[in-house]
């Protein structure tokens, strides 16, 4: 089975589109690695597990029904917490920002 660390983004996207692996499997694998490694690295301030899994299921459904979900659909990525993501608090590297309201929209 393909794992996230065995190939690059194009390889992952191709494997998903060609049905070699599901987007949900890739995302689940990535989330498992984050859970284990973030304990010592502490590099993720927020992990949107439910949203990632839901998006992966949508991608898998689109592919199963013959629709093209996009060239990089299913490829895991992270966004540095310096940029607004709708619904999430932007910490900008400081816990003092933890009480700020969530961003109302994504940064452009």
56 burial type by CB count under 10 A (0-12 exposed, 13-18 middle, 19+ buried): buried
One domain, residues 20 and 49: yes
User: Number of folded domains in the chain?
Assistant: 2
Estimate to the nearest angstrom the gap between the alpha carbon of 98 and the chain centroid.
22
One domain, residues 14 and 67: yes
Q: What is the pLDDT along the chain (108 residues), one digit of tens a residue?
A: 666 677 899 999 999 999 999 999 999 999 999 999 999 999 999 999 999 999 999 999 999 999 999 999 999 999 999 999 999 999 998 989 999 999 999 998
Per the structure, the complete domain to which residue 31 belongs is given by 4-77
Q: Which among 9, 36, 12, 37 is positioned nearest to 26, based on CA atoms?
A: 12
Q: State the first-to-last Cα distance of the chain, in angstroms, to the nearest integer.
A: 36
* pTM > 0.75: yes or no: yes
């Amino acid at each position: 089975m393909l794992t996230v660390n065995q190939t690059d983004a194009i390889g992952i996207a191709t494997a998903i589109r060609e049905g070699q692996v599901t987007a949900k499997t890739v995302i689940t694998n990535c989330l498992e690695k984050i859970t284990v490694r973030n304990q010592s690295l502490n590099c993720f301030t927020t992990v949107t597990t439910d949203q990632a899994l839901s998006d992966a299921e949508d991608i898998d459904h689109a592919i199963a029904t013959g629709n093209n979900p996009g060239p990089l659909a299913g490829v895991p990525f992270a966004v540095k917490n310096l940029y607004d993501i709708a619904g999430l608090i932007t910490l900008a590297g400081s816990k003092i920002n933890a009480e700020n309201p969530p961003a109302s929209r994504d940064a452009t």
